[in-house]
Structure 1
Amino acid sequence: MAGRRRASGTRVVVALCLLLVSLVGCGGRPTSDGARTDVQRLLDHRAAAVVDHDEAAYLRTGARDRFDNLRAVPLADWSYRLTGLSRTGDTARADAELRYRVQGYDRAPVRVGRTLDLELDASGHWYVESERPAKGSAEQLWDQGEVSVVRGEHSLVLGVGQSTGRLRSFARLADHAVPAVSQAWGSNWSRHVVVLVPRSLNGMAGLLGAPESSYRGIAAVTTGETGARAGAPADRIILNPDAYGVLGDTGKQVVLTHETTHVATRAHTAPATPLWLSEGYADWVGYLGSGRSPSQAAPELGRAVAEDRTPEGLPADADFEFAGDATRLARAYEGGWMACRMIADRWGEVRLAEFYRSVGAHDRRAGAVEAALEDVLGTSLEKFTAEWREYLRAQLV
């Protein structure tokens, strides 16, 4: 019996050895589950060091990579969730979801994909060699350099490669925009904005995960969730310093107020909302109090009307493509603005906001505008379009 037990025990030991070899290869390295646990622990320590601004703790997890760039950013939370691990000998590549919140602005975490290169040191501990955006994920501002921060009354401005004075000027513009938008739209929104100012157009494109050509000549864009739930992260207004910088004072204010309007209306902007309405309303709020006449603010559309080329219908979503024809894009924005201006003139500013909310309350595009026109303005799409064409001819000649 004793001999048979020893033989059975030997077989068990051999079987276990074969199983370990199949799992981890030669050299007795940890199993894949063990490695994942170790790497997740490493990422947890690194995240805690970021939130605590603990340089020594951060360096114990690996390279200084981006620590200095993040020093000034007011972070409420920062964490990694390991989603994939690929190991080759003493090196590995970790894929992770980074979740972070900016203190006082983000109600929920921003979630982005990150890739980290890891190495195993002589003592058998993993450390971070480098970190970068995951494939298909946009850059974060601190990927582009050291972030400077300016706080306004209603704004937080984060910049790379920008002087403090310039960032303060953007904060003043944003602080003027927030109450102006609240006066037009109402106060049922966050009433603060986060503005990102990269070094250049190239930096803006990186933050949006798109080629430069898509945004050349575009002064600013706003990112966020349409139909945003109450717990969505704060929107980000991203400035193109190349295009925004050449605008005059009025133009800069109009643009930033336009983008702030997108932040305010986000929860009521849905797939049912056509771009002529979302962009037109943002322009309408942006131009309030600017003193700009229709002929000054809508020159391309004015030329078309003067040449007897008045558009047959309201701008289509395709007309708003940034990478398309610049004249067509300008006419689309101007046409949407004139449609909203007409509603405010003929039905009142309160009805204009009601119309916007009514359209966004629908689940799908089909029939949304038509239903809102009938319910809020008491008209049809056919009559509204005809009135808009007449309004263009009356205002732009």
Structure 2
Amino acid sequence: MFPGRRLVRVLPLLLCLLLAGCATRPAGTAERDVRRAVADWSRSAPGRPAGIPVEDWAYEVTSVRRDGVRALVRAELRYRLAGYDAAPAASARELDLAVDGGSWRIRGDRPAPGALPQLWDQGPVSVVRGERSLVLAGPGAPDPAGIAAEADRAVPAASSAWPGPWAGRVVVLVPGSLDRMAELLGGTADAYRGLGAVTTGRVGAGPAPADRVVVNPQGWAELGESGRRIVLTHEVTHVATRAATTASTPLWLSEGFADWAAYRGGTVTPRQGAPALGRAVRRGEVPGALPPAEAFAFGGDPEAVARAYEGAWLACRLIADRWGEAALTGLYERAGREPLAVALDEALGVDLPELTRAWQQALREELR
């Protein structure tokens, strides 16, 4: 066959193949475009909650599911509140995308199924900056400026009680209702009813975690000025001691220390600050042991929970009065990294039975 004729026949075939190659995108290209769209969006202002001072805002895509011109993305959001978080906060998210004008666009951003929401998922957030605090308030939240002022007073009180290193500033979240608070924390409203505030954050050494003090607006409204000061100082002390707190730190020590810091320097007597435990002691029901971890559980019998917190406070108060404040903070530091028996011996020179007997005797004398 004449070579030229073969070339004439082959050219249309090559042209068809080239055109087909242009019309069909290589496998995986669309997914890469989706991932690129998420990355671009997370770097832009529309991808961030308005007014909140965030930095290092980034979505790490974990999965992409496409259906034509729509896509569903699962991602891990990581961010820091500028000037407050030494380590990033994390949130599992679900993003909706659609093709618009030939490009993928984000159409929705929400908590992934089973993940906790962020405060901005509940609506527009108001921001109040204190001298030592950052208050983020959801729709309908009570008096964020007043809470910021109270937090500014709580920070130095916690620092005075805790000599260990910490950031010396705090982030406070104020949702608009008890139900909204429960949503943020992943619990039921009944579990937090009656509480003024709680603290979130992981324990352990390393970079300071992204702690948040979460105010219960219903419980906060029921507190007087003194009660609000005590509640916020207690919670801020948890933030201050976080790096020294581990899974081995007894709850009676961590909760008792926070209450001791909150009452420290005040005029509240044991009978005034421990009414529930006082009633039990006067009935002849002196506790047989320091409060166990389960006694502090949210949502339990309110009277029993009150007795646990009061007993923990009086245990730490006893240690500070008898062995000294330095011994109490030394015990706290050791208890996070050593067995309690070793920590007690090194910090106080006693064992647990000896401390328990001294505590029981103090309860009889101070609460009778």
TM-score, structure 2 length as denominator? 0.91
SS in 2 for 1:99: strand
Shift of 1:108: 2.2
Contact 1:78–1:98 under 8 Å retained in 2: yes
Aligned with residue 110 of structure 1, among 65, 81, 89: 89
Counterpart Cα distance in 2 of 1:241 and 1:386: 39
RMSD: 2.3
The residue that corresponds to 2:356 in the other structure is 385
Q: Does 1:129 align with 2:100?
A: no
Change (3 A) 1:209 1:321: same
Contact 2:140–2:176 under 8 Å retained in 1: yes
Contact 1:72–1:148 under 8 Å retained in 2: yes
Counterpart Cα distance in 2 of 1:349 and 1:293: 18
Give the residue type in structure 1 aligned to 2:172: V
Contact 1:197–1:238 under 8 Å retained in 2: yes
Give the residue type in structure 2 aligned to 1:150: V
| 1:88-122 deviations in Å (ceiling 9; x for gaps) | 2332210001111111111122111000122223x
Q: Does 1:342 align with 2:318?
A: yes
Shift of 1:377: 0.4
Contact 1:157–1:197 under 8 Å retained in 2: yes
Counterpart Cα distance in 1 of 2:329 and 2:209: 24
The residue that corresponds to 1:179 in the other structure is 156
Counterpart Cα distance in 1 of 2:189 and 2:111: 18
The residue that corresponds to 2:32 in the other structure is 37
SS in 2 for 1:361: coil
Aligned with residue 277 of structure 1, among 243, 250, 253: 253
The residue that corresponds to 2:116 in the other structure is 138
The residue that corresponds to 1:62 in the other structure is none
Map 1:247-266; keep pairs closer than 5 Å. Answer: 247-266=223-242
| 1:260-317 deviations in Å (ceiling 9; x for gaps) | 0001100110111011110000000011133211111111100100000111001000
Change (3 A) 1:90 1:301: same
Contact 1:118–1:128 under 8 Å retained in 2: yes
Give the residue type in structure 2 aligned to 1:191: G
Contact 2:220–2:228 under 8 Å retained in 1: yes
Counterpart Cα distance in 2 of 1:114 and 1:244: 30
SS in 1 for 2:84: coil
Map 1:304-343; keep pairs closer than 5 Å. Answer: 304-343=280-319
Contact 2:238–2:258 under 8 Å retained in 1: yes
Shift of 1:42: 1.1
Shift of 1:175: 0.9
SS in 2 for 1:227: coil
Could you tell which deviates more after superposition, 211-220 or 131-140? 211-220
Show structure 1 runs of 4+ deviating over 6 A.
none
Unpaired runs of at least 5, structure 1: 21-26, 51-57, 59-65, 363-367
Aligned with residue 236 of structure 1, among 212, 222, 230: 212
Contact 2:174–2:216 under 8 Å retained in 1: yes
Map 1:361-380; keep pairs closer than 5 Å. Answer: 361-362=337-338, 368-380=339-351
Give the residue type in structure 2 aligned to 1:182: S
SS in 1 for 2:223: coil
Aligned with residue 78 of structure 1, among 57, 63, 70: 57
Unpaired runs of at least 5, structure 2: none
Shift of 1:187: 5.5
Q: Percent identity?
A: 48
SS in 2 for 1:277: helix
| 1:313-359 deviations in Å (ceiling 9; x for gaps) | 01000111102111111111111101001101101111110111010
Aligned with residue 267 of structure 1, among 231, 240, 243: 243
The residue that corresponds to 2:137 in the other structure is 159
Counterpart Cα distance in 2 of 1:204 and 1:352: 33
Counterpart Cα distance in 2 of 1:185 and 1:219: 22
Could you tell which deviates more after superposition, 33-42 or 276-285? 33-42
Contact 1:250–1:290 under 8 Å retained in 2: no
| 1:170-204 deviations in Å (ceiling 9; x for gaps) | 11111111111111111511000000101011111
Give the residue type in structure 1 aligned to 2:53: P
Counterpart Cα distance in 1 of 2:126 and 2:344: 46
The residue that corresponds to 1:119 in the other structure is 98
Aligned residues: 356
